[in-house]
Structures are given as C-alpha cells and as structure tokens.
Structure 1
Amino acid sequence: MLSVVLLVGWLLWAVSAWWASPRQVDVAWLDRDLAAGRVSGWDRAQGWIDDGVFLGGIAQARTDRHGATIVWTTPGGQTRAVDLGADGTGPGSRLDGYTTRLTAVRPPGVDPGGPAPVLAVAVSVLAMAVGLVWLVALVTGPPPRHGTRWFWFWLGLLPPFGLGVLAWLYAECWRPPTGRIDRHSGLLGLAWGFAVGLVLSVVTIGLRAALGGNVVPGG
C-alpha cells in the first residue's frame, strides 16, 4: 500500500512539475498568447531563482524591471519566457515594444491569485510530502535488501526528478526476493547519486536543445 501511495504521489508531482516549470520559448509564443488573450500576468526578469529545484520545486523568475527577459503566465497555469536582449533594451528596441504592448493589456506583475503561483506551491508541497514519506519508510521500515539505508538515502536524495525513489520502490518493494545479495554501501550510493545526477543533467540539457523548451521545460 505504501509503495502505491509513493508512486501516485510521485506521478502527481512529475505531471505538475512538468506543467508548471518555466518554458524558454521563442517570441512567436508571446505573439500568439497576446493575440489570443492568454496572458494572465507578466514581468521582466533577469535570470532564475532555483534554490528550491534541488528539493523538487520549480525555478522562479528573478524579476527585474530592467531585465532583458519577458516572463508571462497563462490562464492554464504555465509560465513562459523569452529573452529579447539580443536587440538591445533601450527605447525603441523590440523589448521596449513588447513591454508597451503587455502594459496595455495589464500592469506588470504575476497575478497572485492565478493558477501559476498556486501550482508552484503545490509542486513544492507534493515533493516534500513524497520525500518525507519515503524517508520515514526508509528509516523505520525493514532493512533494505539491496543496499544499506545510507546507500538508498544518497541515491534517493542526489539524482534529479526523484528517480532514486523510483529505484528504491522497484528494488525494495516490487522486485521479487532472490538469493543472497551483497548490500551496497553508503559510499557507493553517494558516488552513484552524483554520477546519475550529472548524467541526467547533461541528458536534460541535450533534450531541451533538441526538442525545445516547451517539451523539456526548465529555467
């Protein structure tokens, strides 16, 4: 039962995080959203605040009224961003033109009652809930068969996307018991955690470059 709860919680988190994570798109997306009235909030920004990403949250725009990036939210709860700094940021620039157009629609600032801020909080809460339930199960449950508790702690903590939790579910909850197994040590879990995290980060960057920021979002 616990494994099902953890799996459902992880799936809810994964879908919510994918939907709510900021998407780096081209300016055509902004044109379409403006034409269709799909801008529920916007601001200019410079960079991203990703302090909570390690714990399963999503990146937030670092708002800056002089920033070269326009970030906007949609009524469906998505956040999109386009960098217009290549053509300059002064009066008469393309960035200035879009700022004027957006200001005519609504004043700058993310709608605090809109779905995007609510989704961002929900993603963080789901991540913390799944992590806490898994950690309690790891510490208070029976000794893991395939690795020490420290092994699973590092492997569950370090790789992104909560994939270490899925690995624990498969190896310790769903995989049928076999013969004698050498349990992996905490040091090996630490090494694997860093290695898997590095590989997944590189793969994510490559997929984002190949498929675009709308398919593989992230600040």
Structure 2
Amino acid sequence: MTDDIPAGRRWRWWTVLRLGVVALWLVAAGTAWWTAPRQQSYDQAEADLAAGHVVAYQWGDRWDADQRTPWFGTADLESSGTLGPLFGWRTPDGRVWWTDTTYFDQLTIAGTVREESYAGPGAIGIAEQLQAAGLDSRSGVLQPLGNLVAGTGLAAAVVIIGVLLTGPAPVLGTRWFWFWLVCLVPFGLGILWWLIRERPWARAASPPASPRPQSHGPLGFALGVGTALLNGILLMVLGQLLGDRWVPRLDAG
C-alpha cells in the first residue's frame, strides 16, 4: 500500500483482505475436522457395507500423515504388501472411518476372494462383504477434499507472506517473529493471533506513546515450537476426555 492512497480506502482494503484470510482459515479448519479419519468398530464397518454406505474404501497397514501444509494436513492409508489389516471407508456425508481387522479371526470365510492377498481372516471377511454388496469396485481416495484443504492453506499462506513482505512494518513483533508464529503454531492459530493483534489488521496495534521493544525472530521460533508441543499434549488429553468424535487425531496415529 502506498502513502498516496486515502487512509479510509486503505483501511477498507485491509479489512476485506483480513476477512478473506479468515474465510480461508474457516474452510480449511472445518473441512479438516469433518473429514479427519475416525476409528470405528468392526461391526460398524459391516453395517455400513450392508447398507451400501461406502462411497470409497482403501486398505493399508499404516496411516501416512500428509505434510502438504503444517496446519491442516490430511492422512491416507498406505500399504506395504498385503491388503489390510486396516480398512478405511468414506460415507456419503464425506466423513472418513477406519477399523483394525487384526483381532477378528473367528469369522466364517466363504472363499470368494483370494485369501492370500489379505492380512488375515478379519480383512478377508470385509473383502467378501464388499464383494457381496457389489461395492468392491469403489476402491479409491478416502479424502478427495484433501486438495481443497491444502489449497486453502496455501492461499492463506500466500496472502500472509505477501502482507509480511510488502505491508506496513509490524509493531508488536518483527516480520521474522510473526513469520515463525504463522508457520509453526498448529492449525493456523498463529494466523488468527496476527490478524487480531498486529498491523495492518488492527487499529489497536498502532504504536503506543512509549513504544516497547519489538519481539524478534528467536522468540517467535521458540513460541512456535513450544505451542506445537503444548498443542500435542492438549489434544491428547482432550481426545481422552471427549473422544475421537470431537477431537479426532488428524494424523490417525
């Protein structure tokens, strides 16, 4: 922004840009929470198969967290050989579920699938039910909205970096201080803090009569790392208290 632009017009421009960044954050956060893989019982997997509520499914032996964005990554099932023991499926509402078939070995096997391709009786049972329900052709991506999540995060990052580089000089912290907070604080919460507290977004961030020293890059880096560690502990505690339904493990373990 140049100084020859009227202050009122400049303020309106920054306000619109800030609202746009908040909208991007809300889309990414909401989509990541809704589509995060959640563990379900083997019985629920059978029920969804019987009802035809499986839009797509995948087999795997581990979850691979997607690192396209440090804020709202997705997770995909990865397989290193046989199919299973993990079975993941997506329901028509866009939600993703998974179950571990390892301990389900007291099943009646009909012999309609190639048993050597699967990780055990539990996985074979699911495969046979997929075939019986006519859903075995629906193997595919569990989280098709992953690209949307990554794209919105990238768009927000581009806007933020652009403002950091070309916008008014920050007051409460240096550009490097805010850069580390934005990049390291999980779930884009550093973005929200910057949007509330720092120029050019907030009038309250105008230089005070007796300015205090700015926060610098090393402090921002330390706060970002510390917040990430505390976030992991907090999510673990909340997950135990509230359950996977409300606090999903976004990396699915």
TM-score band, normalised by shorter chain? 0.7 to 0.9
Q: TM-score, normalised by structure 2?
A: 0.77
> Counterpart of 1:54 in 2: which secondary structure?
coil
The separation in 2 between residues aligned to 1:143 and 1:19, in whole angstroms, is 37
The separation in 2 between residues aligned to 1:42 and 1:86, in whole angstroms, is 20
> Counterpart of 2:150 in 1: which secondary structure?
helix
**Structure 2 residue 55 is matched with structure 1 residue 40:** yes
Q: 1:57 aligns with which of 51, 70, 73?
A: 73
Is the Cα contact below 8 Å between 2:46 and 2:126 reproduced in 1?
A: no
Q: How many residues end up aligned between the 2 structures?
A: 215
1:118 Cα deviation from its structure 2 partner: 3.1
**Structure 2 residue 229 is matched with structure 1 residue 198:** yes
The separation in 2 between residues aligned to 1:128 and 1:159, in whole angstroms, is 15
1:166 Cα deviation from its structure 2 partner: 0.6
> Counterpart of 2:97 in 1: which secondary structure?
strand
The separation in 1 between residues aligned to 2:144 and 2:61, in whole angstroms, is 22
Identity %: 32
The separation in 2 between residues aligned to 1:175 and 1:12, in whole angstroms, is 26
> Counterpart of 1:85 in 2: which secondary structure?
coil
Q: Deviations over 1:61-96 (max 9, x none)?
A: 1145432111111122221111122345765x3332
Q: Structure 1 stretch 200-209 or stretch 12-21: which is displaced more? A: 200-209
Q: 2:145 aligns with which of 119, 124, 130?
A: 119
Q: 1:81 aligns with which of 98, 114, 131?
A: 98
Q: 1:13 aligns with which of 21, 28, 38?
A: 28
Is the Cα contact below 8 Å between 1:25 and 1:81 reproduced in 2?
A: yes
Q: TM-score, normalised by structure 1?
A: 0.88
Q: Structure 1 stretch 27-36 or stretch 165-174: which is displaced more? A: 27-36
CA RMSD, 1 decimal: 2.2
**Structure 2 residue 191 is matched with structure 1 residue 156:** no
Is the Cα contact below 8 Å between 2:28 and 2:153 reproduced in 1?
A: yes
The separation in 2 between residues aligned to 1:118 and 1:51, in whole angstroms, is 13
Letter in 2 for 1:127: G
> Counterpart of 1:118 in 2: which secondary structure?
coil
Q: Which runs of 5+ in 1 are unaligned?
A: none
Is the Cα contact below 8 Å between 1:145 and 1:181 reproduced in 2?
A: no
What is the aligned partner in structure 2 of residue 128 from structure 1? 154
Q: Deviations over 1:11-56 (max 9, x none)?
A: 1111111112212223343234224321112122111121425253
Is the Cα contact below 8 Å between 1:147 and 1:184 reproduced in 2?
A: yes
Structure with greater helix share of residues:
1
The separation in 1 between residues aligned to 2:148 and 2:119, in whole angstroms, is 38
Letter in 2 for 1:6: V
Is the Cα contact below 8 Å between 1:56 and 1:128 reproduced in 2?
A: no
1:169 Cα deviation from its structure 2 partner: 0.4
> Counterpart of 1:80 in 2: which secondary structure?
strand
CA distance 1:110–1:214, shift in 2 (3 Å): farther
The separation in 2 between residues aligned to 1:117 and 1:25, in whole angstroms, is 17
CA distance 1:41–1:104, shift in 2 (3 Å): farther
Q: Structure 1 stretch 61-70 or stretch 189-198: which is displaced more? A: 61-70
Letter in 2 for 1:159: V
